[in-house]
C-alpha cells in the first residue's frame, strides 16, 4: 500500500520532528502527520534555551537526560547543518539566573544544595556568584541584583531554525511530511496501525504520538493516559539595541541582531493564547529591576504560547502495553531535549526495550498510591 511506512509520527512540532529525524537517520521510512497552522504549537512560540541548571530537581534521571542532550547538542547542530544546510545558531557559553533580593538568592542556593544531594549528573557544576562577580559579567545590572546562579552548560539556539532544520533534515533523509493532516483516529490494523486523518488514512508498523497537548486525547486511543496540561508563557521582543546583556539569562537573551527577548512567565490560563497585558507589565518590571537601563527600550513584538506541562514538569515517555508499537512522547523542554530525542530516544523506538530504558518517565508515576 502506497501510504504505508515503518513509523508514523503524529505531530510536526519540535518533539515529533526530532523523533522523525532520528528515525529517518536510522534508515526507517517515516511519515510525519501534522495538523498545521490551526493547532496549538509551542514549538513556534518558545524562548530557544538549551537549559540545564535547575532541570531535574526531584528527579535525577531528568537531570542526567537534560545534561546528556546538552552534551550531544554540538554534534547534533553539525548533523542538522549537514542535513539541509540550516545553521541553528547554537551557543553554549553558559547561563545565569539573576537573583533579585536575598530571598531569591537563598532559594537558588537551596536548589543547588538539594540537587547536589541527588544521585546522577547534571548539576555538579552550577555555582552561586555574588553581586561583584555578576557585575564583572554584566556591568549594567541594577542595585537590586544580589547575585546569580551560573552553569557553564547552559546555551541557546534559534528555535525556528531548529524546527526548520529538523523538518528539512528528515525530508532530506526520505521522511514524508503531510501538513493539514489532523489525526482523528488511531486503530490497530493487523501487525501495525491505521491512522485516520482529515486528508485520508495512513498505515504504519509503529505509531509515535508526539502532538504536544493533543497527546492527552490521542494517546487514549492506544490505551495510554497522558496527563499533560497547558501552561501559558509570554515573550517580549525589544527593538535592536547596543549590547546590554552579553551573557545568556534564563529570562533574557540578546540575539545576534541586537533585539532582546524576555520571557519565562508561567500562567494557568486554560487553552487561551490571548495576551495578558498584566503579565507583560510584570515581566517588564522584573527586567527593569535587573537592568534599569532598559526602562526606555521599545517593545516591538509580544506573543504568548502554551507549554506542554506534566503534573511534575518532567517528560512522559511510554510504549503502550495494550497496543505494543504505539508510543507517546511529551515534554515541556522540547528545545533542550531535541538532541536526545533525535539521537538517543528515536533509535530505542526501533530497537525495542523502550519502557525499560525510559522507566523513570512512565506516566505510571502519577497513579495514586494504593491505600494502606
Ligand atoms: C513561552 C514558551 C517558552 C518556552 N521556552 C523553552 C525554552 O527556552 N527551551 C525549551 O527547551 N523549551 C521551551 N519551551 C517548551 C517547548 O517549546 C516545547 O517543549 C516544545 O515546543 C513542545 O513541542 P511538541 O512538539 O511536543 O508540541 P507542539 O510544539 O505544541 O507541537 C505539537 C504539534 O502537533 C500537531 N498536532 C496537534 N494535534 C494534532 C492532531 N490531532 N493530528 C496531527 N497533528 C497534531 C500540531 O500541529 C503541532 O505541530 C517553551 C514553551 C513556551 C510556550
pLDDT at position 56, please? Answer: 93
pLDDT digits (tens, 9 = 90+) for 145-191: 999 999 999 999 999 999 999 999 999 999 999 999 999 999 999 99
Which percentage of the chain shows pLDDT scores above 90? Answer: 89
Any idea which of 30-44, 149-163, 211-225 has the lowest mean pLDDT?
30-44
Residue 197, phi then psi, degrees to nearest 5: -130, 175
Place of cell 526606555: 296
Closest CA to 111 of 127, 129, 133: 127
Which atom, in ligand 1's list, is nearest to the CA of 49?
8
By the 10 Å C-beta count (0-12 exposed, 13-18 middle, 19+ buried), 139 is classed as exposed
- ∠ at Cα 326 (323, 331), nearest 5°? 130
pLDDT tens-digit series, residues 2-13: 469 999 999 999
- Residue 278's CB: how many other CB atoms inside 10 A? 7
Predicted TM-score (pTM) of this structure: 0.96
Q: What is the 3-state secondary structure (H, E, C) of 245-307?
A: CCCEECCEEECCCCCEEECCCCECCCCCCCCCHHHHHHHHHHHHHHCHHHHHCCEEEEEEEEE
Residues with CB under 6 A from ligand 1: 10-16, 33-36, 39-43, 45-49, 51, 181-183, 210-212, 214, 218, 233, 235, 263, 305-308, 330-336
Pairing status of strand 200-209 against strand 4-10: parallel
Query: What pLDDT shows up at residue 1?
Result: 42
Given this model, what pLDDT does residue 140 score?
Answer: 97
Q: Which helix (H) or strand (E) holds 18?
A: helix 14-25
Q: Within 13 Å and on the Cβ side, how many CA atoms surround 200?
A: 7
Which stretch, 57-61, 261-265, 355-359, has highest mean pLDDT? 355-359
pLDDT attached to residue 134: 98
Amino acid at each position: 500500500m502506497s501510504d504505508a511506512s515503518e513509523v508514523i509520527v503524529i505531530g510536526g512540532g519540535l518533539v515529533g520532528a526530532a523523533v522523525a529525524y532520528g528515525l529517518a537517520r536510522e534508515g526507517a521510512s517515516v511519515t510525519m502527520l501534522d495538523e498545521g497552522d490551526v493547532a496549538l504549537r509551542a514549538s513556534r512560540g518558545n524562548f530557544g534555551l538549551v537549559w540545564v541548571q535547575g532541570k531535574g530537581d526531584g528527579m535525577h534521571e531528568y537531570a542526567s537526560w537534560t545534561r546528556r542532550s546538552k552534551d550531544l547538542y554540538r554534534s547534533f547542530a553539525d548533523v542538522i547543518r549537514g542535513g539541509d544546510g540550516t545553521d541553528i545558531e547554537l551557543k553554549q557559553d553558559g547561563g545565569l539566573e539573576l537573583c533579585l533580593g536575598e530571598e531569591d538568592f537563598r532559594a537558588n542556593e537551596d536548589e543547588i544544595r538539594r540537587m547536589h544531594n541527588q544521585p546522577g549528573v547534571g548539576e555538579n557544576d552550577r555555582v552561586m556568584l555574588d553581586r561583584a562577580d555578576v557585575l564583572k559579567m554584566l556591568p549594567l545590572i541594577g542595585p537590586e541584583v544580589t547575585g546569580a546562579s551560573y552553569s557553564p552548560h547552559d546555551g541557546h539556539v534559534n528555535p525556528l531554525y531548529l524546527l526548520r532544520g529538523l523538518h528539512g533534515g528528515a525530508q532530506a533523509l526520505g521522511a514524508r511530511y503531510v501538513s493539514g493532516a489532523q489525526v482523528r483516529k488511531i486503530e490497530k490494523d493487523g501487525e501495525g496501525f491505521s491512522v485516520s486523518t482529515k486528508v485520508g488514512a495512513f498505515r504504519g508498523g509503529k505509531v509515535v504520538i508526539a502532538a504536544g497537548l493533543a497527546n492527552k486525547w490521542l494517546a487514549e486511543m492506544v490505551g495510554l493516559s497522558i496527563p499533560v496540561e497547558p501552561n501559558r508563557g509570554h515573550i517580549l521582543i525589544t527593538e535592536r539595541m547596543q549590547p546590554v546583556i552579553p551573557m545568556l539569562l534564563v529570562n533574557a537573551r540578546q540575539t545576534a541582531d541586537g533585539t532582546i527577548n524576555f520571557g519565562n512567565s508561567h500562567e494557568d490560563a486554560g487553552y487561551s493564547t490571548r495576551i495578558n497585558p498584566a503579565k507583560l507589565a510584570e515581566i517588564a518590571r522584573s527586567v527593569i529591576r535587573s537592568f534599569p537601563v532598559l526602562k526606555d527600550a521599545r517593545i516591538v513584538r509580544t506573543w504568548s504560547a502554551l507549554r506542554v506541562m506534566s503534573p511534575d514538569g518532567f517528560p512522559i515517555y511510554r510504549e503502550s502495553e495494550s497496543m505494543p508499537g504505539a508510543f507517546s512522547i511529551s515534554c515541556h523542554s522540547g528545545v533542550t531535549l531535541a538532541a536526545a530525542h533525535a539521537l538517543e530516544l528515536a533509535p530505542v523506538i526501533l530497537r525495542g526495550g523502550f519502557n525499560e530504558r525510559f522507566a523513570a518517565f512512565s506516566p505510571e508515576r502519577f497513579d495514586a498510591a494504593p491505600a494502606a
